[in-house]
Structure 1
Amino acid sequence: MKAALQNYQDRMRRVLDHIDRHLDADLDLDTLSAVAAFSKFHFHRQFTATFGLSVHRYVQLARLKRASHQLAYADALDVTDIAMDAGYDAPDAFARAFRQRFGQSPSSFRKSPVWEPWLAAFGPLDNARSKLMQTTFSTSDVMIRDVPPTKVAIMEHRGSPEALRATIQRFIAWRREANLHPSTSPTFNVWRSERRPASPADYSVDLCVGTDRPVAGCGEAIKAGEIPGGRCAVLRVVGYTDNLEPAALYLYRDWLPASGEEVRDFPIYCQRLSFFPEVPEHETVADVFLPLK
């Protein structure tokens, strides 16, 4: 029974991977049921029973998520092209669907995103993925590295996690103006609080880009700093790297007590190595660093 369940879940996981990899393709029931090797007459109900939403809604949300990221973070992309990539035949149809889902037109979202409805809209998508996409870690996944110090420019986020995406948007705009592209200047997040502290006002994270350039004159939002060098336990996460809390919990709860190591006086942090929507979400990569003595 356990092997049969695992096989069933693997087939459903293949479907989610296929959707994420082929958002520009025709993702009809015939195609997706064939990927899962299930009968097309039952696949729709199987998918809904497994993930809590229909195939059509899942595909629509996945495409709208990519489109919203492109609107917010990729100014060079035309709204019409984004609409076509999202599977809509005309910008008007895309605008209606976007407004219905997020309460803003695509052009309004591009200028000034309101992130609370965005987060609520993608709750069902995140819940569906979490059912079968939970990553398990083992001690063999953790490497101990000697990490060199890295000078960084920092934009601090202090306050509610719900406002983090607005800070990320400002950070991306600033580093674009500063010509600090992720391909040449590494990206780090330093977590100075829990992901969900008791009081949202206590949430604290630093958005960092590695650079030796002076940051004086870049405005109050940017300051110079350094991620110190030293020994670190490093855990790589591949796929759906929006939430790295499970990796951090594994390092603290499971790996650290069994390792005999002691932590150093610097917060846990991550380096983001690839980004959605430049790559499909299941191909995003991040390394989580736990500083050690």
Structure 2
Amino acid sequence: MQVSSAAQRSRTEYTQRMNRVMDYIDSHLDGDIDLAALADVAHFSPFHFHRLFAAWMGATLGDYVRRRRLEVAALQLAGNTRISVLEVALGVGFGSGEAFARAFKLRFGQSPSLWRAATPQRWAAELRGARKLHQAESNLDQAGHSANGHHDAMSDSQSFSSMQVTLTTLPAVRVAYMRHVGPYGVSVNQFWTGTFLPWCFAQGLLPGASCFGRGLDDPHITAPEHCRYDAMVQVPDDFVARSPASMATLPGGRYAIAPFEGTVPHLTVAWTELLRDWLPASGMKLDGRPLFEHMPPDARYDAVTGVMQCELCIPVQPL
């Protein structure tokens, strides 16, 4: 048992160090990413770091950085039509438009300009697919709940596209977090209930604190197995995170906020509605901060039906 516990502690420590490395890479995509600097972030020897990174991530450091640069560029091309392709390329660390165009086409099968031009059609197709999947799931839910005497709160209620969205300025929040890597959806819910919430209660942080969920990747661009999600809880200024949690600051600023009530599959559809339907018509655009879900201390969660309450928070700025 002692060996198993020690191995688990070691794996957790490696996970936290690699999370810091991935966060550092994301915040430095516009410049040179030095191996020695990353090794210092991870507190590993520069001599061994490259091999450790490749073994842990299943990709070389160069391949990982290239993937992140292209994924961020794809998001920027789609979400901000007022900056040029060259500006996007330079902003994610490519030295020339030509090198960027070659790498982008190899990754996404089309040029950056065509990707941008096809965004409305691509988003419309994603929105149709999400709505179709939601309708099929709602029909199954209705049948199941009728048989069991339960009713799905979302099956007959709000249309996601009609959610009331408000603009407000939020303060920065100090949080403790754990990261889930893998497909969004049910596995994230299991991560909350089986891992993160028990840790929060053990630390005395719940009940009473706000919780947040932060998806760091767009699942329409990033492969499901690479999608990162942070489960977070607000902590006091003097709180010191203990393994397996880490500390971070959730950025403040201007956000578009939409109330949500439903199950995890419905949550996925709601995000798609907001980003593919509401945002293009809003006169706003995304900025570089991540989207997140806010669960206030009084937010309700029904363990039987899986229905939850939260606020969907989109970082925005004027076009």
TM-score, normalised with respect to structure 2:
0.47
Look up the match of 1:265: 288
1:277 aligns with 2:302: yes
Aligned position for 2:211 = 187
Residue 240 of structure 1 deviates from its aligned partner by 3.2
1:204 corresponds to which of 228, 232, 246: 228
Check whether the contact 2:176–2:241 (CA below 8 A) recurs between aligned residues: no
Amino acid in structure 2 at the alignment position of 1:146: T
2:245 partner letter: I
| Partner-residue secondary structure (3-state), 2:199 | helix
- Secondary structure (helix, strand or coil) at the match of 1:176 reads helix
CA gap of 1:143–1:226, structure 2 versus 1, over 3 A, is same
Separation in structure 2 between the aligned mates of residue 54 and residue 279 of structure 1, nearest angstrom: 11
Q: CA deviation at 1:247?
A: 2.2
Deviation at 1:259, TM superposition (A): 1.6
Identify the residue that residue 157 of structure 1 maps to in structure 2. Answer: 180
Q: CA deviation at 1:267?
A: 1.6
Secondary structure of 1:250's counterpart equals helix
Unaligned runs of 5+ in 2: 1-137
2:180 maps to 1:177: no
The structure 1 residue matched to 2:266, chosen from 243, 267, 288, is 243
Kindly tell me: are residues 242 and 212 of structure 1, through their superposed partners in 2, closer, same or farther at Cα, counting changes over 3 Å?
farther
Q: Take 2:303 and 2:187, find their aligned partners in 1: how far apart are those partners?
A: 23
Q: Give the SS at the match of 1:244.
A: helix
- Contact conserved, 1:195 with 1:245, CA < 8 A, in 2? no
Q: Which amino acid aligns with 1:186?
A: S
Going from structure 1 to structure 2, the CA distance change for 1:55 and 1:167 (only over 3 Å counts) comes to closer
One-letter amino acid of the counterpart of residue 152, structure 1: V
Q: Per-residue deviation at 1:174? A: 0.8
Identity %: 21
Task: Note the aligned Cα RMSD (angstroms).
Answer: 3.4
Q: Distance in 1 between matches of 2:211 and 2:265?
A: 14
Residues 215 and 290, structure 2, Cα contact 8 Å, conserved in 1: yes
Give the TM-score taking structure 1 as reference length: 0.51
Deviation at 1:133, TM superposition (A): 5.2
**Partner letter of residue 147 of structure 1?**
L
User: What does 1:42-81 correspond to in 2, within 5 Å?
Assistant: 51-53=142-144, 55-56=146-147, 58-59=148-149
Q: How many residues get paired?
A: 176
